[in-house]
Amino acid sequence: MNAANRFLINHKSILIVFLGCAIFASLQSYFSGLKSFVEGGRLYTSYNNYIIFKQSFFHLIHGQDLYADFVEEQGDLFKYSPTFALIFSLLAILPDVLGLSLWNILNATVLFYAVCYLPRIDVRTKGLILVFMLVELLTSVQNEQSNALIAGLLLFTFGFLERGKYWLASFCLISTIFIKLFGIVGLALYLLYPNKLKLTYTTAFWAVLFTLLPLVVVDVNQFVFLYKSWANLLANDHSISDGLSVIGWLKSWFGWQVNKTYVSLAGVILFCLPLLRISQYKNFVYRALILSSVMIWVVIFNHRAESPTFIIAIAGVALWYYSQYPTTESYILLVLAFVFTTLSPTDLFPKFIRNEWMKPYVIKAVPCILIWAKVTFDLIVGKLAPRATEPERLEN
């Protein structure tokens, strides 16, 4: 067995690399100098996203509007749920260097163990998935974002659903919704599994609990105010940017000034079409590809998608490729995703190429858009053959 194979099947070594990325990114951000997020603007810490999460807890317990513009403290708005602000108290009370490190470690380890928990995929293939996501993970934790955590929770949702552990599955899925609302798309997975009643009441339980949790530290009036303020922020946020998304691609490549609502509606219809293929619900590859579709969809149809968001899409890409029998066209798309989605924002591409071509033409999003189209096509008419595995490495 060569060194590469030994590394791929030794998940402890890969975990060390994941943790190393998280710690490196945390220390890099913490010890970097102040920076401005707009030219000539106010200076903030290099780990501004973590500061936003941290300060949200203190704003919550002090009875402030979580969604106000606290320009003296942070360089952007808080956009997550009041429940997220409360739960973040576990890190907010710690010194920044420790809290920041633990936050990034949480993101990395949840994603790592979620991949390890995937059913019907052998150990070596899981190693390939983890290595494929590594650079994108680093991009996410360097920006102190929650996207790797969301990707891990969605993968865990799938793993628990496959094993009939509905309480844990619904907990993971509801958690994603209370971090970033687009996790709600994951509810489509429920159509693929039996015992819909149990899925309904377990999901309702966690949804009610997560919704009411802020009442631990705020009164009813403030509780209602905060949820209204959050809804208002999300409604107004819709028109701010195009992001690394289908909308941004259509505008930058074709000059189409498209209505975002119409594009989103078209995306919903295309996403739902494969669900009509009920005869395939018992096929593991079909179910895995539905999750892949969810994870790519929530990024490419997100008008606010940024480079660090793509760890979710890349996790979906990896699941798409490594859960089924590989084909030449799929391999080509995988390579395109690795080069142009994962590597294009890095220093491997000269700065002038990134600034003149990659960013203006939203190149990072294009391979994921193509792959999502391929996933959708395969789900509708494909044969969906499983990937060949070695019996002694098969994990159920």
Q: How confident is the model at residue 1 (pLDDT cuts 50, 70, 90)?
A: low
Q: Tell me, what's the pLDDT at 28? A: 96
Report phi then psi at 36, rounded to 5: -105, 145
The stretch 303-309 carries a mean pLDDT of 90
The stretch 329-357 carries a mean pLDDT of 94
Give the lowest-confidence range in 63-77, 209-223, 302-316, 380-394: 380-394
In total, how many domains does the chain have? 1
Flag whether pLDDT at 240 surpasses 70. Answer: no
Flag whether pLDDT at 153 surpasses 70. Answer: yes
The stretch 362-377 carries a mean pLDDT of 97
Q: How confident is the model at residue 394 (pLDDT cuts 50, 70, 90)?
A: very low
The mean pLDDT of the chain is 94
Q: Which domain holds residue 207?
A: 3-393
Give me the sign of the Cα torsion angle 293, 280, 329, 249: negative
d(CA 228, CA 219): 14
d(CA 329, CA 296): 18
Per-residue pLDDT tens for 270-291?
999 999 999 999 999 999 999 9
CB-CB contact of 317 with 334 (8 Å): yes
Q: Tell me, what's the pLDDT at 395? A: 42
Flag whether pLDDT at 393 surpasses 50. Answer: no
d(CA 81, CA 270): 29
pTM: 0.95
Q: How confident is the model at residue 390 (pLDDT cuts 50, 70, 90)?
A: low
